[in-house]
Amino acid sequence: MNRLQTLFENKKERVLSIYFTAGFPGIDDTMPTMEAIASAGADIIEIGVPYSDPIADGPTIQDSNMIALANGMSLKKLFDQIKDMRNTVSIPVVLMGYLNPIIQYGMERFLQKCQEVGVDGLILPDLPMQQYLDEFKDMFEKYGLSNTFLISPQTSEERIRQIDEHSSGFIYMVSSHSITGAKTGLTADQITYFKRVQAMNLKNPRLIGFGISDAETFTNASKYSNGAIIGSAFIKTVKNSVDLKASIHKYIKSVIQ
């Protein structure tokens, strides 16, 4: 059982996952950001691996990706930065990244490296389920890594069941038809969708992402799931911070209250 599975064994509600972009705002901010997220009381850290063409992301995360790449960030550099992360960070860590940089690095080498540094799970938004099953599932299992798939309001019940069957860790519920950072607040349609999925009694825990930015949206989303993921709003916070640790603490505490 990896750290993610242990977390959800012990905590069923108001799980907070924070996404940040590695190597942003400064190239050496990766570890300080992770340590601050953990010490502020978040439950999961999601490390965004920067990519030149992030098609599922809105302007805020695109921008952070560009800055990180301009800073010289790469997957190789990231593994260097987080090689000793388990000395200071004990909460689950998930890597989120687009497929192309990972394929160039080599999928097996990547998974092996994830296991070695203590990463618990992966979110690869452009890896389709079928491709995962055909090519990579055995490898993920070999290295003890959870794989998280996304679902959206458009995802059929049948497909949600399939995704549930092949996920380990948690399911990432995209809150609306949208890219990251688009809208905030929850609409009646979204709540209907959350309730519909909630009633399916899936085996995996569910976290809601996209459009979660503060205590109110976090609390609302948590009513219909095991918790939520914050990305763009967090990126905005660190982008404008003078004292990185203090800003992160203030922001996360304001969300979990």
Partner 1 sequence: MIKVDEKGFYGKFGGAYIPEMLHPNIEELKDSYEQIMASEEFQTEFQSLLKDYVGRPTPLYFAKRISEKYGAKIYFKREDLCHTGAHKVNNTVGQIILAKKLGKKRIIAETGAGQHGVATATVCALMGLECTVYMGALDIQRQRPNVERMRILGAKVVPATSGSQTLKDATNEAMRQWISNPVDTHYIIGSVVGPHPYPEMVARFQSVISEEIKSQLKEKEGRENPDIVIACVGGGSNAAGAFYHYYNTPEVRLVAAEAAGLGVNSGKSAATTALGTEGILHGSKTILMQTEDGQVVEPHSISAGLDYPGIGPVHAHLFDIGRAEFVAVEDEDAMKAGIELSRMEGIIPAIETSHAIHALNMIEYQKGDVIVINLSGRGDKDLDTYIKWGGY
26 lies in the binding site for partner 1 (CB under 8 A): no
Which residues, including other chains, have CB under 8 Å from residue 196's CB and lie 6 or more apart? Answer: none
State the minimum distance, in angstroms, from the CB of residue 183 to partner 1.
Answer: 9
Which residue is catalytic, options 9, 28, 29, 46? 46
Interface segment toward partner 1; rule CB under 8 A; list 22-30, 155-163, 189-197, 239-247: 155-163
- Confirm whether 57 is a catalytic residue: yes
254 lies in the binding site for partner 1 (CB under 8 A): no
Cβ burial, residue 73 (10 Å; 0-12/13-18/19+):
buried
C-alpha separations of 211 from 165, 221, 239 in Å: 26, 10, 18
- Per CB under 8 A, contacts with partner 1 among 162-221 are 163, 174, 177-179, 182
- Confirm whether 43 is a catalytic residue: no
Q: CA 104, 120, 85 angle in degrees (round to 5)?
A: 85
SS3 per-residue string spanning 29-94: HHHHHHHHHHHHCCCEEEEECCCCCCCCCCHHHHHHHHHHHHCCCCHHHHHHHCCCHHHCCCCCEE
State the minimum distance, in angstroms, from the CB of residue 26 to partner 1.
Answer: 19
State the minimum distance, in angstroms, from the CB of residue 64 to partner 1.
Answer: 12
CA distance 170 to 52: 27
Q: Which of 2, 27, 31, 99 binds partner 1 (CB under 8 A)?
A: 99
Interface segment toward partner 1; rule CB under 8 A; list 4-12, 19-27, 38-46, 51-59: 51-59
Taking alpha carbons only, the member of 55, 10, 43 closest to residue 150 is 55
DSSP type of residue 27: G
Interface segment toward partner 1; rule CB under 8 A; list 17-25, 34-42, 149-157, 201-209: 149-157
Which residue, 152 or 219, has its beta carbon nearer to partner 1? 152
Which residue is catalytic, options 13, 35, 43, 57? 57
State the minimum distance, in angstroms, from the CB of residue 100 to partner 1.
Answer: 5
Residues that bind partner 1 (CB under 8 A): 51-59, 62, 66, 69, 74-76, 98-105, 125-131, 149-152, 154-156, 159, 163, 174, 177-179, 182
